[in-house]
Amino acid sequence: MKYVLISGGVVSGLGKGVTASSIGVVLKACGLRVTSIKIDPYLNIDAGTMSPFEHGEVFVLDDGGEVDLDLGNYERFLDVTLTKDNNITTGKIYQSVLEKERRGDYLGKTVQVVPHITDAIKDWVQSVAAIPVDGQEGPADVCVIELGGTVGDIESMPFIEALRQLSFSVGPDNFCLIHVSLIPVLGVVGEQKTKPTQHSVRELRALGLTPHLLACRSAEPLLQNTKDKLSQFCHVPVENILNIHDVPNIWHIPLLLRNQNAHHSILQQLNLLEKATSPALQQWTKMAETYDNITDSVRIAMVGKYVGLTDSYLSVIKALLHACVALSLRPSIDWIAASDLEDDSAKSTPQAYATAWETLKRANCVLVPGGFGDRGVKGMMLAAKYARENNVPYLGICLGMQISVIEFARSVLGLERANSVEFDAQTPNPVVIFMPEGSRTHMGSTMRLGSRRTLLQTPDCITSKLYGNSAYVDERHRHRYEVNPDVIRTLEEAGLKFVGKDETGNRMEILELPSHPYYVGVQFHPEFKSRPARPSALFLGLILAATGKLEAYVSRRQNGS
């Protein structure tokens, strides 16, 4: 196994994750099999309990792992399916070491950060790197490891030490360190400053790791003089100084790296030049360039709770992007804080209320994404109602599906107090209820997580046609509540159809309103499996409907063309 470690210096938020995934893309384009590991030095065991406000979206894997959103970037860029063990946190490492300690595995020894924590890190990295993630047999050729945080952080120290030991034990031919750093410019026509990078490389070297390549983030391309300086002071050959300057869209980054021969430097370091081919990136180039030249756009109203930080819905945004690009459109996403649509806001913040409604009415389609807690749910229901009554294409994801069921029960069935027990435990009409897969009395881990099968109930529905008439789909879940099986008949008689159910027939997975051009709710999160060249069927359906092209598309597909 060959390892490419990506570390970061100077500041966080440099796009280390995108850099690491892009390096993976270039290596994959050279004919190599690539896997990846993300290390998050925080103490949380996983991202499951972390607020999307603070940390961005919680990404969900097939195996139910709730992980850092960077794993989403890896899955999308490398088209792989990762496991929860591909995301290492300090919490996970300590948990495994402490479990061993309690079992008595350390035979009375003092358990210490060095060597026990560092050994656990090395073992974890090596065993996870060997798991195939691309559907083929046997381990990949290269494992890209992204170390979160910035070099010098106290909490990343045990990881740096473990990776230093790893580099030593696997030998120079099998280890390549790429340090991502920032080259700021002071003043308007100021100089490109190399000092922060010099300092962070010095810090890294003091810890026993010397970078083989530098990936320097900057607004404008680096000047030769800047590169020369970096080379001299950071102990990195000038041809190994890569520059990631601002680009029109992130799909350009693998191309930028290829144009600077990053693959050559990496392959040389890893002694893989003979095995690898020259990078085939035709599809990427096409995708990146096509997107730059798209002029038409489609307006999507995103009605949610966490609209302040767009990373909270990163995969939804990416899935919209994939669907739009496939249709030569640019997504124009209008964020609406759901609570701004509510009656209360008309009084307390009239301007925000007016803007929110104006935005909603101007949109070509409406999307209500997943979420937890009751903040803004009234506003989401108003958005769902508006879309339903005005034939505006609607996609409700997870919470968004539950919202459409509650709204339908209230408006159409006249059950004014219909609700989810998540928002009103005493509701007389619980249309969304708690349905744990395991024991009802067991505390914790009550979330339904990961890939589950949905059986399509009839070929005669939009969803089935969009999914290519397949009998079932496997999509990822992350929820606790579900549509109450006792109300299905009543809802269906009133016109809301449940066209996708789980294998028991008790759990509602997909709803549609056949009288509407596109009104779809799904209990799962289709955004997690959307890929740049393979957009999610349901996002594609939403955008097709928003631009009046759904019927033509469906009939073309039905005719096999």
Give the residue numbers marked as catalytic.
398, 525, 527
Distance CA 548, CA 552 (A): 9
Under the binding rule (CB under 6 A), the answer on residue 422 touching ligand GLN is yes
Under the binding rule (CB under 6 A), the answer on residue 507 touching ligand GLN is no
Phi, psi angles (nearest 5°) of residue 29: -65, -20
Under the binding rule (CB under 6 A), the answer on residue 24 touching ligand GLN is no
Under the binding rule (CB under 6 A), the answer on residue 480 touching ligand GLN is yes
Distance CA 71, CA 88 (A): 11
User: Is residue 550 within 8 Å of residue 517, measured between CB atoms?
Assistant: yes
Closer residue to ligand GLN in complex, CB, 118/312: 312
Q: Which of 79, 28, 74 is nearest to 257 (CA)?
A: 28
Q: Which positions from 121 to 160 touch ligand GLN by CB under 6 A, shown as an x/- string?
A: ----------------------------------------
Q: How far is the CB of 66 from ligand GLN (least distance, A)?
A: 11
Burial call 251-285: b when 16+ CB within 10 Å, e when fewer: bbbbbbbbebbbbbbbbebbebeeebeebebeebe
Closer residue to ligand GLN in complex, CB, 258/529: 529
Looking at 186-194, 329-337, 343-351, 477-485, which segment touches ligand GLN (CB under 6 A)? 477-485
Q: Which of 393, 387, 309, 388 is nearest to 69 (CA)?
A: 309
Residue in 335, 372, 423, 553 binding ligand GLN, rule: CB under 6 A: 372
Looking at 49-57, 132-140, 203-211, 364-372, which segment touches ligand GLN (CB under 6 A)? 364-372
Looking at 69-77, 89-97, 356-364, 478-486, which segment touches ligand GLN (CB under 6 A)? 478-486
Looking at 137-145, 254-262, 273-281, 476-484, which segment touches ligand GLN (CB under 6 A)? 476-484
Q: How far is the CB of 95 from ligand GLN (least distance, A)?
A: 25
Under the binding rule (CB under 6 A), the answer on residue 407 touching ligand GLN is no
When CB distances to ligand GLN are compared, the closest residue is 370
Distance CA 144, CA 21 (A): 8
Distance CA 387, CA 129 (A): 46
Query: In the structure encoding, which two tokens stand for residue 351, read together?
Result: 């301007």
Closer residue to ligand GLN in complex, CB, 37/403: 403
Under the binding rule (CB under 6 A), the answer on residue 65 touching ligand GLN is no
User: Is residue 528 within 8 Å of residue 451, measured between CB atoms?
Assistant: no
Looking at 15-23, 40-48, 249-257, 475-483, which segment touches ligand GLN (CB under 6 A)? 475-483
Burial call 88-124: b when 16+ CB within 10 Å, e when fewer: bbbebbbeebeeeeeeeeeeeeeeeeeebbbebbbeb
Closer residue to ligand GLN in complex, CB, 299/375: 375
Under the binding rule (CB under 6 A), the answer on residue 398 touching ligand GLN is yes
Q: Which positions from 481 to 500 touch ligand GLN by CB under 6 A, shown as an x/- string?
A: x-------------------
500 beta partners: 456, 510
User: Is residue 283 within 8 Å of residue 26, measured between CB atoms?
Assistant: no
Binding-site ranges for ligand GLN (CB under 6 A): 370-372, 398-399, 422, 478-481
